[in-house]
Structure 1
């Protein structure tokens, strides 16, 4: 029997630690290298390669592009970090730890995260306060099976990495308003997310499907909205931009729709636009039944470097126009560097004028070649993050 002294044992202990650190680092580096090897759009490239993103969640606010601009009003001095621990909901007296308490009761800059995976069934629509971020990264959060989200007369809001589905219409009733006070809310359609007189809104990396009415409505003077990296599927009416034909305030509406994945089994409105302007760029369209992009009341739209894959049977035409002879010559629907498969076709406006987004310095982004769209939209929808640092 050979006696192994304390120095020998100590050396082996140190060696074991070194080996563990080496292989752990090598494993993490391998994962990180794999992530870096993926083709990412410029929004994801801004934060995803950071292995410490959980410690620096607010970095996300600097990554938005399009009409929402940078969401830096949501971070900085005075920010409240709020964690949802309770999936229950009380629409009139929200309890601390619930989503409604963080989104409606707390005022000022609020960054909301979730302690664990959870399914949240809202009793009434969730009215989100200005300067609120709902950040579902790192967990699996579903808002489903009843009321869903509403942004009314609010600004500077981020909704990120949430699964929203099976939303149902709601009867009028009392609910906690976005100003922390109980208000009366009228009839609400069964939309996943509805914007009413809202501005500077960023909706990114969510999965939305199978709702009673639509998946996203931008209405009643809402503007400066970016809809990016979302997965829209299993839905008749997908995205409505503009309240109705008679609501003239929507002429000032500006919406960016970029890096989204539409389909399978989407029917129409990807988007449908009234009055205002939309820049629809670098999206993947996996079929449609009636049409992909449509509108009325002389809207303006620039479709740029999107991939339109027509269904095997049914309509091959991408666009639809509600004919109104008083506005017939005001239509501006243009296709620039789009790609079309399975016989897809785009009816463009006659003439050479293509409406520009006229982005500011903080809104502008590079539209990439349509050949990259499949890879750039591969991560669309809510993230399924690993338990390690990779998302």
Structure 2
């Protein structure tokens, strides 16, 4: 009895030390995470360890990896700091202080932050200009309940720490374009984020859910995209890479899908790939209904060190190919060092070499052991940031 009592006291003392350590202001986030047994991934280590991250926000642009590469074109000389103070929206004549004014009207390098927590209901899709960063860190910023985000013929864009949900399809209309000029826009599906002929795009630490069509589409020749640290949940069609089977420009598409959390209640397309190449690494898959990863029109997939947890009932197979043809339309699917739990299985392409990502020095990262995926994706989605800790 005395032994049990002593163990209980010791456990409480250890817990108290851990809590005190985590809230000690002179320790970095990395040090506190180490004490608490957490593990930050390569992207988060780059900036979350800095207690002065609010003063050094543009440091974020140096932290991206994968096909987007470093986003240093978004910072440096001429950078405009813009703060959203007004959650209202006007698709044609946006007011200064609104998100649309900063994202569409102002041209050049623009770093957008927010004055406070906001729910923004866009009246039409927001077309984001090149060299724009939307940085929601530090506040609860949600874009929801109507139109959402589109990156149309633009480049060098960061979308970070935004909650996007309940996006709805939009009828054709007039909207201010990414060049600051009014333009016609056709029918738009209800996606959270849609890329159209876009390049060098980094989408990091967002929470996306419950949209009418999909959560994230990379289409019409878009390439050099990194999708990292996001939380995708409560959605039928999650992520589409490649416009349609007949759009051959997507053969040049290159996308990195890294450190994301899929689920609960995701059905399919995590991602679905048409043409192109996807490196899907260190992601956490918490179940699926139809499938997790699918493909058609000869895409290439390297699935590396992901953790796949099959649903308790239903389909355990992770992959899907159009027409069930693994060697033609289905393309090449390779699984390298993935971990499969609860009966999950992966039908890989037989024979052939695994295509490498061939990253440049600015794009390359070390893929962690799949045993670390739960820890590496623990902070996926919008971050809850304090004054010094994010």
TM-score w.r.t. the length of structure 2 is 0.92
Instruction: Write out aligned runs for 1:56-205 (5 A).
Output: 56-205=56-205
Q: CA deviation at 1:29?
A: 2.3
Retained in 2: the 8 A contact 1:297–1:324?
Answer: no
Q: Paired residue for 1:273?
A: 273
Q: Paired residue for 1:389?
A: 388
Residue 55 of structure 1 aligns to a residue whose secondary structure is coil
Residue 29 of structure 1 aligns to a residue whose secondary structure is coil
Q: Paired residue for 1:13?
A: none
Alpha-carbon spacing, 1:327–1:307, altered in 2? closer, same or farther (3 Å): closer
Q: CA deviation at 1:352?
A: 4.1
Q: What is the CA–CA distance in structure 1 between the aligned matches of 2:112 and 2:213, rounded to whole Å?
A: 27
Instruction: Write out aligned runs for 1:185-334 (5 A).
Output: 185-323=185-323, 328=328, 331-334=331-334
Q: Paired residue for 1:3?
A: none
Q: Paired residue for 2:32?
A: 34
Which deviations, in whole Å up to 9, do the C-alpha atoms of 1:131-172 show, x marking residues without a partner? 000000000000000000000000000000000000000000
Alpha-carbon spacing, 1:201–1:129, altered in 2? closer, same or farther (3 Å): same
Q: What is the CA–CA distance in structure 1 between the aligned matches of 2:84 and 2:229, rounded to whole Å?
A: 24
Alpha-carbon spacing, 1:328–1:81, altered in 2? closer, same or farther (3 Å): same
Aligned length: 368
Q: CA deviation at 1:385?
A: 1.0
Q: What is the CA–CA distance in structure 2 between the aligned matches of 1:93 and 1:354, rounded to whole Å?
A: 50
Q: What is the CA–CA distance in structure 1 between the aligned matches of 2:74 and 2:27, rounded to whole Å?
A: 33
Alpha-carbon spacing, 1:183–1:348, altered in 2? closer, same or farther (3 Å): same
Q: What is the CA–CA distance in structure 2 between the aligned matches of 1:318 and 1:26, rounded to whole Å?
A: 41
Residue 303 of structure 1 aligns to a residue whose secondary structure is strand
Q: What is the CA–CA distance in structure 2 between the aligned matches of 1:130 and 1:175, rounded to whole Å?
A: 17
Q: CA deviation at 1:331?
A: 1.9
Q: What is the CA–CA distance in structure 1 between the aligned matches of 2:286 and 2:325, rounded to whole Å?
A: 32
Q: What is the CA–CA distance in structure 2 between the aligned matches of 1:330 and 1:368, rounded to whole Å?
A: 28
Retained in 2: the 8 A contact 1:36–1:49?
Answer: no
TM-score w.r.t. the length of structure 1 is 0.92
Q: What is the CA–CA distance in structure 2 between the aligned matches of 1:212 and 1:26, rounded to whole Å?
A: 41
Which deviations, in whole Å up to 9, do the C-alpha atoms of 1:42-65 show, x marking residues without a partner? 000000010000000000000000
Q: CA deviation at 1:332?
A: 1.1
**Structure 1: runs of 5+ lacking an equivalent:** 1-22
**Structure 2: runs of 5+ lacking an equivalent:** 1-19
Which deviations, in whole Å up to 9, do the C-alpha atoms of 1:113-138 show, x marking residues without a partner? 00000000000000000000000000
Retained in 2: the 8 A contact 1:88–1:121?
Answer: yes
Q: CA deviation at 1:355?
A: 0.9
Q: What is the CA–CA distance in structure 2 between the aligned matches of 1:143 and 1:389, rounded to whole Å?
A: 25
Q: Which of 1 and 2 has greater Rg?
A: 1
Alpha-carbon spacing, 1:328–1:26, altered in 2? closer, same or farther (3 Å): closer
Q: What is the CA–CA distance in structure 1 between the aligned matches of 2:352 and 2:346, rounded to whole Å?
A: 15
Q: What is the CA–CA distance in structure 1 between the aligned matches of 2:255 and 2:139, rounded to whole Å?
A: 29
- Which aligned runs of 4 or more in structure 1 are off by greater than 4 angstroms? 324-327
Residue 328 of structure 1 aligns to a residue whose secondary structure is coil
Retained in 2: the 8 A contact 1:209–1:215?
Answer: yes
Q: What is the CA–CA distance in structure 1 between the aligned matches of 2:352 and 2:188, rounded to whole Å?
A: 41
Retained in 2: the 8 A contact 1:296–1:324?
Answer: no
Q: What is the CA–CA distance in structure 2 between the aligned matches of 1:47 and 1:30, rounded to whole Å?
A: 15
Q: What is the CA–CA distance in structure 1 between the aligned matches of 2:305 and 2:62, rounded to whole Å?
A: 24
Q: CA deviation at 1:195?
A: 0.1
Q: Paired residue for 2:17?
A: none
